[in-house]
Amino acid sequence: MSEPLWQWHDLIAATQGQPDGAPAAPIAGFSIDTRSLAPGEVFVALKDSRDGHAFVPAAFKAGAAAAVVARSYAPSPAVGTLLRVDDPLRALESIGRAARTRGNARIVAITGSVGKTGTKEMLRHSLALVGPTHAAEKSYNNHWGVPLTLARMPPDCAFGVFEIGMNHAGEITPLVGLVRPHVAVITTVEPVHLGYFDSVEAIAAAKAEIFSGLVPGGTAVLPRDNPHYPLLLARARAVGAGMLTFGYDEEADFRALQVDLGAKGSSVIAGYGSQRFPYRLGAPGEHYVKNSLAVLATLTAVGADVMRCLPALGRVSAPPGRGARTLLDAPGGQILLIDESYNANPASMRAALATMGSIPREEFPRRVAVLGDMLELGEASADLHRALTEAIEAAGIDLVVACGPMMRLLLDDLAPERRVWGATSAELEAALLGVVEAGDVVMIKGSLGTRMAPLVAAMLGRFGPGRPGG
């Protein structure tokens, strides 16, 4: 039987909470969602869009070992062991802070306008080849996701990999203060969340907050190709960070020397000084190539054997919502569905279109891009949407099926036979299912608020992987 993740007395000490009883079962982890809670986990009753205290009885019914609740919580007779605290979120942060100090793991924190999750996954798989590795699930990179991921970190792991996200200035600083990484990675700086910033330079400054949490002697991993590299470099130097850079630039420490982009992945030879690293990437797209260079730099910074880690990169695939591919059976042949529905911004939209354009027409003759509005772009939104025309033409997109007022501006530049529009994704569903056919590659992408994921579900429901469509 594996060791408990936490001892009850250690949680009491970390939170300065008041216990009501003690758990009967060993503590196996933490959860903030009763729908995914596993037996033995501690349920933390956070207040967000809904008050987690309402779900405490359901947590115990699902097998929770205990629940962290506000001191004022009045339990029903059916609940079990409680740990009463002033604020459950602050308590979760305290548990995360304690988790960070009780082990000796080398810690990596990743931020960037795009590429955080893909880079985190590449690092997670790579580091797992050389030592026990803990990493965030999905995109747990916000004010509750980061402390939750820390709280779940086993004390004996060798490496920890954390995503840190932000929409506004000042959001990264407290999160990286919890994580206290040995290595801080910035994947790139792009016009994302521009509605909340005066300029892309201001976004770069907000991303550079990640250096504030570096442990003494820590290393910054920076995108050498990015226009805002000088600002990032200055901010990293200001905290005394060591430096490694990546990219195509001749001055980059980890540099792509040879790249063969393919529809199903890429072959890369990277250079670092006199060293050469040949490897295969399982996920397609040039954005994965660039992020893999950041991975090599990070592996070096944490002291891992890069050559031992390289095989993991060939096993990495794009996750659901971020480029996952599914073959669907349609009358007369197959449809390739590319699920990019999780989110969108100008940089990730261009990358997704370019990757779609690399798929051979001999396999899938027609390219159908299903696009939803890119949100949070402020006054630049209209121009940034119209500017996608160049990427659409470069990728050879045959048909654009789009929704939202901003995407309508983009469609104005396309011939009528190349466009289908709906006000919302719900309105678009019937039209999409009516135009797709065997031989199509269909890529679905838009900001989370445009609700593109239901269109992916509609495609799967109509055709379904491995069964003929009706």
Residues 6 or more apart whose CB falls under 8 angstroms from that of 300 comprise 244, 254, 272, 306
Pair 107, 40 in one domain: no
Q: In angstroms, rounded to a whole number, what is the distance separating the alpha carbons of residues 42 and 29? A: 6
CA distances from 421 to 145, 275, 336, 370, 398 (A): 36, 51, 21, 10, 15
Pair 335, 309 in one domain: no
Question: Is residue 97 in a domain?
Answer: no
Residue with tokens 């986990």: 41
List phi, psi (to 5°) of 41: -85, 155
Res 45 pLDDT > 60 = yes
pLDDT tens digits for 152-177? 999 999 999 999 999 899 999 999 99
Pair 152, 188 in one domain: yes
The CATH number for 107's domain is 3.40.1190.10
Pair 376, 311 in one domain: no
pLDDT tens digits for 178-188? 999 999 999 99
Please tell me the predicted confidence (pLDDT) of residue 153. Answer: 97
Contact 83, 66 (CB under 8 A): yes
**Nearest CA among 19, 10, 17, 151 for reference residue 82:** 19
Pair 332, 229 in one domain: no
- Looking at residues 230-240, what average pLDDT do you find? 98
Res 456 pLDDT > 60 = yes
pTM > 0.85: yes
Res 14 pLDDT > 70 = yes
Pair 417, 450 in one domain: yes
Amino acid at 434: G
Q: In angstroms, rounded to a whole number, what is the distance separating the alpha carbons of residues 179 and 398? A: 46
- Looking at residues 82-98, what average pLDDT do you find? 97
Pair 120, 186 in one domain: yes
**Nearest CA among 438, 348, 332 for reference residue 113:** 348
Provide the β-strand partners of residue 222.
245
Cβ–Cβ contacts within 10 Å for residue 138, how many? 14
The CATH number for 39's domain is 3.40.1390.10
Domain that holds residue 215: 103-315
Q: Which of 16-30, 135-149, 435-449 has the lowest mean pLDDT?
A: 135-149
What does the DSSP assignment read for 179-203? H--SEEEE----S-SGGGSS-HHHH
Contact 98, 90 (CB under 8 A): no
**Nearest CA among 286, 288, 287, 268 for reference residue 278:** 268
Res 415 pLDDT > 80 = yes
For the chain, what is the domain count?
Answer: 3
pLDDT tens digits for 398-414? 999 999 999 999 998 89
Positive or negative, the Cα torsion across 429, 435, 438, 444? Answer: negative
Res 62 pLDDT > 70 = yes
